Structure 1
Amino acid sequence: MLKKIASILVWVFLFGYLIVVFSFANGKSERLVISGTQVNVVDSVKRGFVREVDVERIIKRKYPQIVGASNSGINKEVLEDLIDKIPYVKKSEVYNSLSGKLIVEIKQRNPIVRILSGKGYYLDSEGEKMPLSTNYTSRVLVVSGVVNDQLIKEELFELVKFITNDEFWKSQITQIDVDKDREYVLIPRVGAHKIELGSIENFQRKFQKLNALYTKGFTKKGWNTYSKINLKYKDQVVCTKKK
């Protein structure tokens, strides 16, 4: 019985201690004075869509005299909402350092393909559109030809994900061209040939056939022997020699 009472008293003490600590920390945070701002784009080495100066401009537009301002007067959720409206931002987080700096951490969206339709745009890793940027160009797979939202949703994005999720195909296939009949032609990085994939049907099997040709056939014939590789036919690969 005494052990049970002692255990309860320990938990009550710990609970009270945590309340005091959190109250103290919250009070200290409210009394903080903003000493400056710091923008960290955590994946800036991989892509450069978001510039620190643009984020700083958003902060100063909302809080022109932010340096020296009380932390309690800064609505961090509002700042996050404003920064998240930048079309290249996936997620932002705003918080304070112990010294009073306002820290903004940003993760950018990840484009995996560029669509050459109209003014052009990217699709990110979730299939959502991203506008092109005047600050940065992402070196990604390119799609040209007859492209619309329905095609992207029904089949094109699946093909794009397959290519970009495979290290070999991602490095080898640089462009996809689509005609009005939804027939696909692939442009490789290495080799003087075009790859006629045909329709999207059984495309993974077609890539298996192409891989077999690359690993077995081209080691003997060479990468520049053919001008066209046709994968349309079941269990066949039809190659046209260069003239």
Structure 2
Amino acid sequence: MKKIKWTDVRLVLMIGVVIFLYSFSSKRNESRHLVKSEVRFLGDNNLFITPETVDNLLIQNFNKVTGIRKDKLDLNRLEHILDSNEMIAKAEVFATIDGTLKAVVTQKTPIARVDSEGSSYYIDYEGNQMPLSDNFTARVPLISGEITTENKKQLTDVFRKIHDDEFLKKNIIGIEISPTGGLIMTNRNYNYQILFGRTINVDKKFDNYKAFFQHAIKDTLIGNYKTINLKFTQQVVCTKN
């Protein structure tokens, strides 16, 4: 008869106890109710959507957070609800051991504002429409003229370059889209028009404008300029009042 090794028996019993305690703890944890919720925003501190709105989206099928059992949570569904919001680019939702329902939210980034035929909205960084916010107004170029499926991508590239460049972001406050597709831009501090032309050679045109501005700002007559023409990539052509 094979001799029983009590060391092996103790090991099996210990493993069994660990499995039981883990299972019991997990079951008990799942049956617990949440005690609170927390919303954290990543990136820009300017909030286009409030934490209260996000919180309400998380618990919209319950009266309050403390009425939600952890085992009834569908985290994928909650993330989908938040991701579907027109102000939110991406959301991550999870529940902690201490019973906190947490949402980490990345907002959409507006890069232009369109005012056309009674409708007003932002263009976000991905080129999609984003509604205006009652909570905060973004300082982005005001766009007039028609944005179509044909010119949307090229225009979004222009808006992005302005947004990503600190100098242009501070200086360009308006863009008019002409029926022929050309762009006319306005400057924050001076009354001249920037005749940008069509959305080609965009980097070169902006480089030319920045070089012109750095040189012209030293000229006390810069306020007398009427137009700054960037259509010719080899030179900047200016007219004065």
TM-score, normalised to structure 1, is 0.80
Point out the more displaced range, 132-141 or 155-164: 132-141
> Who is 2:137 aligned against?
137
How many residue pairs match? The answer is 224
Q: 1:139-218, aligned counterparts within 5 Å? A: 139-153=139-153, 155-218=154-217
- Inter-CA distance 136–215: structure 2 relative to 1 (3 Å threshold): closer
CA contact 2:204–2:233 (8 Å) conserved in 1: no
CA distance in 2, matches of 1:194, 1:99: 59
- Inter-CA distance 206–25: structure 2 relative to 1 (3 Å threshold): farther
Q: 1:74-153, aligned counterparts within 5 Å? A: 74-118=73-117, 119-153=119-153
- How far 1:65 moved relative to its partner? 5.0
CA contact 1:142–1:176 (8 Å) conserved in 2: yes
CA distance in 1, matches of 2:39, 2:210: 45
Aligned residue identity for 1:163: I
- How far 1:108 moved relative to its partner? 0.9
TM-score, normalised to structure 2, is 0.81
CA distance in 2, matches of 1:180, 1:22: 69
CA distance in 2, matches of 1:143, 1:59: 35
Aligned residue identity for 2:184: V
> Who is 2:41 aligned against?
41
- Inter-CA distance 68–186: structure 2 relative to 1 (3 Å threshold): closer
> Who is 2:30 aligned against?
30
> Who is 2:3 aligned against?
none
- Inter-CA distance 233–130: structure 2 relative to 1 (3 Å threshold): same
CA distance in 2, matches of 1:56, 1:34: 13
CA contact 2:208–2:236 (8 Å) conserved in 1: yes
CA contact 2:208–2:233 (8 Å) conserved in 1: no
Helix, strand or coil for the counterpart of 2:159? helix
Aligned residue identity for 1:197: F
Instruction: Report Cα offsets for 1:93-140 as digits up to 9, x if no partner.
Output: 222233212222221111111122341221211222212233332111
CA contact 2:112–2:142 (8 Å) conserved in 1: yes
Aligned residue identity for 1:100: G
CA contact 2:125–2:156 (8 Å) conserved in 1: no
Helix, strand or coil for the counterpart of 1:30? helix
CA distance in 2, matches of 1:29, 1:39: 22
CA distance in 2, matches of 1:218, 1:64: 60
CA distance in 1, matches of 2:67, 2:233: 71
> Who is 2:222 aligned against?
223
CA distance in 2, matches of 1:101, 1:234: 57
CA distance in 1, matches of 2:213, 2:22: 63
CA RMSD of the aligned region, Å? 2.6
- How far 1:226 moved relative to its partner? 0.9
Helix, strand or coil for the counterpart of 1:190? coil
Helix, strand or coil for the counterpart of 2:239? strand
CA distance in 1, matches of 2:96, 2:175: 47
Helix, strand or coil for the counterpart of 1:114? strand
- Inter-CA distance 108–147: structure 2 relative to 1 (3 Å threshold): same
> Who is 1:3 aligned against?
none
- Inter-CA distance 76–208: structure 2 relative to 1 (3 Å threshold): closer
Identity of matched residues, %: 28
- Inter-CA distance 168–95: structure 2 relative to 1 (3 Å threshold): same
CA contact 2:39–2:51 (8 Å) conserved in 1: yes
